[in-house]
Amino acid sequence: MILSLYRLFGVIGAPVISLYLNRRKSRGKEDLARFNERLGIAEIKRPEGALVWLHGASVGESISLLALIEKMTIEQPNVNYLLTTGTVTSAAMMAERLPKNVIHQYVPVDRPVYVERFFDHWKPDLVLWSESDFWPNLIREPARRGTPLVLINGRISPKSYAGWKRFPGFAKSLVRGFSMCLAQTETDAARLRDLGAQHVNYVGNLKFAVKPLPADAGALNEVRSQLADRGRWFCASTHPGEEEIIWQVHQGLAPQHSDLITIIAPRHPDRGDAIARSLRAMGARVGRRSKGDPITGDTEVYLADTMGEMGLFFRTCPLVFMGKSLVDKGGQNPLEAASLNCTILHGPHMWNFQEIVDQLNVLGGSCPIEKEDDLKAALSGFLSSPETAHAIAEKAKAYVRSEAGVLDAVYGELKPYLDQLGSGEAKP
């Protein structure tokens, strides 16, 4: 019933959908030069032969797919690969990091006519769907056409799980569309089974297979030179409500650590103007990377409001606070920082990565804090005793290395599908 109503709205709700998309355009959330892709219209010809379509909603999901894509292109060179994402930022990042022979497109809006147009053009032979971006028409269309659909690195957050449980029939009709589900964690696997998914397995989290984030060598040398030997900490992927707390922590630390500089990278760089205004109103001397401001001796807060430079700041700042964790938003991925030998601090709200942080905490590979005073005390200790911080970072890096086999495990589950495509045989 719910699915039928949803599909009906996709047909008769065209004016509302157009209004929504126009609003996204006006806010810079759509790529105007490639907007037709969101309507299922492709400017690129479909290559001859078998084609695997992978989908990752945004930056995090698409980055998690990169190692798998690279392995598939090496192991199955006769197969073509298409990756879709839904955001401008993820498209820009994939343009830099995707293998040259992989096509990128924006995912079509989940309206029947757009979805059917997309499938009519690309005719994928296998669909690999990442994490939890469950769009009903896009998920049901492969089954309607007899195309295998596999969920990889599947994730069902506590909030999503509670929401799906309110509509069990609808949830079951969606997850039953997957030929196989590979979950991120045992908890995610249990939730998928409870919602009605079949052939569910847990072989590990692909986020462990992500290569260390890159950094431009010239920019890295420049930032290191400007920072010199100043005490510093990096606040990665912050969200509204956190930057003001971070500045208060900085002020509390400054009397004992007079050369301290706080570097903040907001999760959404377009918030740079608002963050700078707010911090300056509180008395902070702020420099902005997006404006080309250098880091000087007077800079107290350096706002890294650019895209694609997280690897640079993980390399220049040994102390990293994971954003989205002081506010109840679920946290950010700590593995990227861990792989670059950073000491990780995080707030109490890390439920998007709960099993990872639980294991890190058991191993002594991270520093959980509850509130502002805890963060200030922990940072003060690490700034005064770098060897203590380094020991924590080493444990986190060892944990990441211990899970490196996940890529082979995931590929092993997909290999029967890929082998048949590469040989030109029928779909499994």
> Which domains are delineated in the chain?
2-205+404-423 (3.40.50.11720), 217-402 (3.40.50.2000)
Mean pLDDT of all residues in 395-410: 96
Cα 36 from Cα 61, distance rounded (Å) = 23
User: How do 367-368 and 180-183 pair as beta strands?
Assistant: unpaired
CA 75 to chain centre: 25
Decide if pLDDT at 83 tops 90. yes
Residue 46 tokens, joined: 């479909």
**pLDDT at residue 399, as a whole number:** 97
Instruction: Give Cβ neighbours of residue 168 (< 8 Å, ≥ 6 apart).
Output: 195, 196
**pLDDT at residue 422, as a whole number:** 62
Confidence of residue 414 (pLDDT cuts 50, 70, 90): very high
Across the chain, mean pLDDT equals 94
- Segment 210-233, tens digit of pLDDT: 999 999 999 999 999 999 999 999
Confidence of residue 9 (pLDDT cuts 50, 70, 90): confident
Decide if pLDDT at 13 tops 90. no
Q: How many helices (H) and strands (E) does the chain have?
A: 18, 14
**pLDDT at residue 160, as a whole number:** 93
Q: Classify burial at 299, counting beta carbons within 10 Å of its beta carbon; exposed 0-12, middle 13-18, buried 19 or more.
A: buried
Decide if pLDDT at 424 tops 90. no
pTM: 0.89
- % the chain with pLDDT above 90: 91
- Name the CA radius of gyration of the chain, rounded: 23
Cα 174 from Cα 137, distance rounded (Å) = 9
Mean pLDDT of all residues in 126-133: 95
- Segment 84-115, tens digit of pLDDT: 999 999 999 999 999 989 999 999 999 999 99
